[in-house]
Structures are given as C-alpha cells and as structure tokens.
C-alpha cells in the first residue's frame, strides 16, 4: 500500500511481511559460506563479519546469501509496485 498526495489508494496487497519474529513465507539459500538469515531485533538480517576461528577477532568472509520471497502470480496485475525498508552497514572491508 502507498499514498499519493496524502490520500490512500486502493490496495490489493499480494505480499506483506514484517519479519517481526520470523521469516514468514520467505526462504533462504546460502551459495557461498554458511551465513544464514535470522530474525533478530524485529527484523531479518545476515552477516559474514564474524569470528569463525575463535580468536576473538571478527573478520569479513566470502558470502552469497539470498532471502527469497514466495512465488507471486502477477499475470493479472497491471501496475505492480514493490517497496521495502532496509539497512546496509559495512558493505566491504575498506
């Protein structure tokens, strides 16, 4: 759902997920590394900045983790819109 000029529009929401305490209908795949998505602090998150060798120092590790939505049939939708909120921190080691 979204607003135009402060007025609510007709909404036929196909999928809405808050991730407040679970992944809901979403699934995950880790193709590089073992850094799964988790629900913490009322949101879903993943990181590969961890201490894997137990020396007390976190390090960046290669990772490719996917958060995948359930299948959505958009064949009868004229104007599909997607919106989401996100936070990105520490995208690389530099």
Question: Any idea where the domains of the chain sit in the sequence?
Answer: 14-68
Distance, C-alpha 31 to centroid of its chain: 16
Q: Tell me the C-alpha distance between 70 and 32, whole Å.
A: 22
Identify the band that residue 94 occupies on the pLDDT scale cut at 50, 70 and 90. low
pTM, full prediction: 0.70
Give backbone dihedrals phi and psi of 90, rounded to 5 degrees, phi first: 55, 60
For the chain, how many residues are written?
A: 94
The pLDDT value recorded for residue 8 is: 55
Cβ–Cβ < 8 Å for 69, 44: no
Residue 57 has which token pair?
A: 């120092």
The mean predicted confidence, pLDDT, of the chain is 83
pLDDT digits (tens, 9 = 90+) for 12-56: 788 888 888 899 999 999 999 999 898 888 888 888 889 999 999
């Amino acid at each position: 759902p979204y607003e135009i000029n402060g007025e609510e529009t007709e909404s036929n929401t196909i999928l809405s997920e808050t991730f407040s305490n679970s992944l809901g209908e979403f699934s995950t795949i880790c193709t590089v590394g073992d850094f799964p998505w988790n629900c913490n602090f009322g949101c879903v998150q993943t990181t590969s900045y961890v201490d894997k060798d137990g020396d007390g120092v976190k390090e960046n590790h290669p990772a490719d983790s996917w958060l995948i939505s359930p299948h959505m049939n958009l064949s009868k939708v004229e104007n599909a819109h997607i919106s989401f909120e996100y936070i990105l921190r520490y995208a690389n080691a530099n």
